[in-house]
Structure 1
Amino acid sequence: MANIIYGMLNVARTALLTQQKALDVTANNIANVNTEGYSRQRVNLAQNEPVYYENGILSTGVQAEQTVQRIYDQFLNAQITEAESDLGRWDAQLETLEKAELMFDETSGYGLNDALSEFWNSWQDLANNPDGYTERATLIGNTENLTDVFNSLSTRLSEVQADSDISITGAVDDINTLTREIASLNLKIAEVEAGGYSANTFRDERDLKLQELSALIDVNSFEDADGYLTITTVNGNTLVDRGNSWELTTHTNGGFEDVFWVSNSGTEENITEGISTGKLKGWIEARDTIIPGYISQLDEIAATIVDAVNDLHEDGTDLYGGNEPEFFIGTNTHASNIAINPDIAADTNLIAAAGAGEAIPGGNENAIAIANLQNSFLISGATIDDVYNSLVSTVGADVSTAQVNSAHQSTVSLQLATYREEVSGVSLDEEMVDLVQFQSAYNAAAKLVSATDEMLATLMNMV
């Protein structure tokens, strides 16, 4: 009889301990209801091993499994990681292109379109009054304004490239920090789980770090049987393996920073071209392809204006009756260095408005010819104005494409995050139901202790 009573006490004891553990886990779920990346946990209950008693089997109560289950969908987490990488690419590209778009704003009245229009109109005004000082001075002023706009556009676009370059070096530093932290978490997880315990907190933290890493650079990852997460670049360069991490670095190449992977032996491999998603890809793509394309088109427009105007101006006649040199100075003209001839800027009489052999003053054939360049098909069968307007449209289209893709990826990421919350998130309603259930079980186990104590006291009194 005493053995049965002591068996009941043991059943009550294990029940109290088990329900207490379940209450602790439920309380932890409730406390982390708003914690980013937290995965809901659950205690799994199982019957204790029964014992044989007087030719029969006697149950011995309940126990909680040592490992607390983490409610987690590995496939869903992989989708979230991939979506974060795609979103990072388009967000970084959009951030860069929006800066460039501001420079092509033609609504303020200070854009290149207005500068070009004033430049061509000045030549037309000069043709109407080829000897007028006011018209010549206005032409000089509008030309200087045009060159300033070209110079400024080119410089500011180059600054956008430089900003992207700085972002790339900063991202590489962040990547190195994250890979070191993930390697450290690998060791913590393996150490805890080797003892048969749950490392759910460390696993949640590691998943968040992996998402942050994926937003910066596209990676592949897999977990081995010991719980270690291995991470590689898409080209197979190892970033994390068990408790070790490999760093990335940057080196200047053509004025900008390329990304290199550093091996254990210290050798470096340029992986810039292999990066396909993540913020690094967005910044690299904008810096090395998109922005240089804008600058190249600006350079072509500037060089075409310089060549066309200079060809006509050198054959014209100034107010001194002579043939003048180039109206714009320099060879290998780019938008960054286009400039008016300083001699002409200092002496408006050197502007060759008259054609060769025309009477001076009064000749205006050359001014008319230069003014007519505005409507001439000088670049691939298009006018200069058309080519510039096409460039502005291209910038707008690139920004729109980045916006659409960023919005789409944001929606995808939000949907996946919502689905993750449905799978792994904490429901306060469910947790409150569990809390009442486990509390009731705990109270019942406590009453079993009291009842067993009374039975034991009665037995002792009988003795």
Structure 2
Amino acid sequence: MSNIYGLLSVGRVALATQQKAIDVTGNNIANVNTPGYSRQRLNMESTDPIRYGAGQMSRGVRANRKIDRMYDQFLGSQINNENQSLGKWEAQNNSLEKVEMIFDEASGNGLNQAMGDFWNAWQELANNPSGHVERVELLAKSQTMAGMFNETASDLEQVGKDMDTNIKGTVDEINLLSEEIADLNAKIQKAEVGGHSANEFRDQRDSVLKELSGFIDINAFEDNQGHMTVLTGGGHPLVEGVSAYELTTEINAGHYNVEWVNRDGNKTDITANISGGKLKGWIKTRDVAVPDYLGRMNDLSVSISDNVNDLHTDGYDLNDNLGGDFFSGTSALNMAVDSALLADTDLIAAGSLSGDPGDNGNALAIAELQNSILSDINSSTFDDYYNSIVSDVGSSVKNAGMNYNHQASVTDQLDNYRETVSGVSIDEEMVNLVKFQHAYDAAAKLISTVDEMLATLMNI
């Protein structure tokens, strides 16, 4: 700035710098409602000084090629970690609500009612052991109860199949997100060559990373080239540099397992290592909750079948013959009334003595099973055992719902805090806009003044 033309250069660069600052401010204002956008700030700096008189003086202002991005890396990592838990509890809550609907007793038409009707039907038969109407009614109530067991078991198995569908779809989504992160890594590296900024691409990558964390537990870190490396919780890479690895699903014991595929195509089962995200929630419901409830329903149905069959085979029917099995099947899914009884109601063994068609001893003994404490179902009655299943389902749903609501609150708080760090404030941007506008006007005034000085010199 040793001469008047140096002043013109100062004014020119100042105009360009303030113009760029206005551009950045305008971009912030335009993205005030854009999810995941981090506000930007032009990094202004003095130009290199030159000797001026006895000292040095800067030649004005200039814009650094790298535009600052208002972003807290540690906060971003915390959001992703909490999002993993949120995804897990969301999946568990949604899937367990489906299980709860299967055990819905509020309508009065559930399995509790069916079992009560079954035992009452035996009591009615005891009041009239040779009655045809009572025998037909008993078989109808027995078929209803067996059908309820069948339906409950089938519905529970369907929940497991639904979880498999969700798992397979989620694995496909994870692969797409991993490829998107790898593609953004390449774009960031290309854009930032020479010290330029790739803030928009970084915002996009953070948004994709947050979405990915909702599906599976991950660890992510950035290298010195700007590449984001993403690992599963078990340490298997999903993204390295500009390359993405693939997850796949394989059938194992009737269900999908999640497998990681390396560069050579070799697969590693990582199902047991998944600890977060929706994948974890669905896997836990499929592999823990559903088998537990289904197993307990099988225990209940088998206990009813075995205990009723034991007594029925010791009783006598209307033909004065020992009774056969009342129920067939080995689980809740295939529990059924014996076909021979459905064909001939006289084969129901209501009596305990031979040669007495009016004997009701066996019908009374079977009816009394309702109140018996049985060792094969945890020393409880049939009703108490089933009610414990229903209670546990409700408790699991409540627990999952509470954890989901808690995690949703935590992530909301973190998102709100992120907005205070990275979000756009219209008030702040408007102030900046006025500030940069005045600076632009001042730079223009400087050029105008220098022009007048040049005119004066030309007229001397």
Query: Which residue identity is paired with 2:428?
Result: E
Cα root mean square deviation, aligned: 1.1
- Provide the secondary structure at the position in 1 that maps to 2:357: coil
What is the CA–CA distance in structure 1 between the aligned matches of 2:196 and 2:45, rounded to whole Å?
17
| Aligned residue in 1 for 2:366 | 370
| Aligned residue in 2 for 1:360 | 356
8 A Cα contact 2:125 2:135, kept in partner: yes
What is the CA–CA distance in structure 2 between the aligned matches of 1:92 and 1:385, rounded to whole Å?
31
8 A Cα contact 2:13 2:61, kept in partner: yes
What is the CA–CA distance in structure 2 between the aligned matches of 1:353 and 1:310, rounded to whole Å?
12
| Aligned residue in 2 for 1:395 | 393
Q: Which structure 2 residue ranges, 5 or more long, are not aligned? A: none
| Aligned residue in 2 for 1:459 | 457
What is the CA–CA distance in structure 2 between the aligned matches of 1:387 and 1:38, rounded to whole Å?
54
Deviation digits for residues 49-70 of structure 1 (CA, Å, limit 9, x no counterpart): 1222344434311111110000
CA deviation after TM superposition for structure 1 residue 345, in Å: 1.2
1:65 aligns to 2:61 (yes or no): no
8 A Cα contact 1:130 1:363, kept in partner: yes
Query: Which residue identity is paired with 1:451?
Result: T
What is the CA–CA distance in structure 2 between the aligned matches of 1:346 and 1:33, rounded to whole Å?
75
What is the CA–CA distance in structure 1 between the aligned matches of 2:379 and 2:159, rounded to whole Å?
31
Deviation digits for residues 134-170 of structure 1 (CA, Å, limit 9, x no counterpart): 1111101000100110000011111111011000000
Query: Which residue identity is paired with 1:360?
Result: D
What is the CA–CA distance in structure 2 between the aligned matches of 1:292 and 1:380, rounded to whole Å?
18
CA deviation after TM superposition for structure 1 residue 124, in Å: 0.5
What is the CA–CA distance in structure 1 between the aligned matches of 2:52 and 2:195, rounded to whole Å?
31
What is the CA–CA distance in structure 2 between the aligned matches of 1:26 and 1:56, rounded to whole Å?
36
8 A Cα contact 1:165 1:256, kept in partner: yes
Query: Which residue identity is paired with 1:240?
Result: V
Identity of aligned residues (%): 53
| Aligned residue in 2 for 1:141 | 140
1:408 aligns to 2:382 (yes or no): no
1:211 aligns to 2:207 (yes or no): no
The 5-angstrom pairing of residues 46-57 of structure 1 reads 46-57=45-56
What is the CA–CA distance in structure 2 between the aligned matches of 1:380 and 1:272, rounded to whole Å?
32
Query: Which residue identity is paired with 2:366?
Result: I
The 5-angstrom pairing of residues 62-461 of structure 1 reads 62-330=61-329, 333-357=330-354, 359-378=355-374, 379-461=377-459
What is the CA–CA distance in structure 1 between the aligned matches of 2:54 and 2:380, rounded to whole Å?
103
Query: Which residue identity is paired with 1:150?
Result: F
CA deviation after TM superposition for structure 1 residue 356, in Å: 3.2
| Aligned residue in 2 for 1:45 | 44
Query: Which residue identity is paired with 1:356?
Result: L
Q: Which structure 1 residue ranges, 5 or more long, are not aligned? A: none
8 A Cα contact 2:218 2:233, kept in partner: yes
8 A Cα contact 1:314 1:323, kept in partner: yes
CA deviation after TM superposition for structure 1 residue 228, in Å: 0.7
TM-score (norm 2): 0.98
8 A Cα contact 1:315 1:356, kept in partner: no
8 A Cα contact 1:81 1:214, kept in partner: yes
What is the CA–CA distance in structure 1 between the aligned matches of 2:450 and 2:314, rounded to whole Å?
118
8 A Cα contact 2:2 2:52, kept in partner: no
Query: Which residue identity is paired with 1:90?
Result: W
What is the CA–CA distance in structure 1 between the aligned matches of 2:284 and 2:2, rounded to whole Å?
77
Deviation digits for residues 81-132 of structure 1 (CA, Å, limit 9, x no counterpart): 0011000000001111001101111111210000000000000111111111
- Provide the secondary structure at the position in 1 that maps to 2:336: coil
What is the CA–CA distance in structure 1 between the aligned matches of 2:234 and 2:5, rounded to whole Å?
64
8 A Cα contact 2:129 2:357, kept in partner: yes
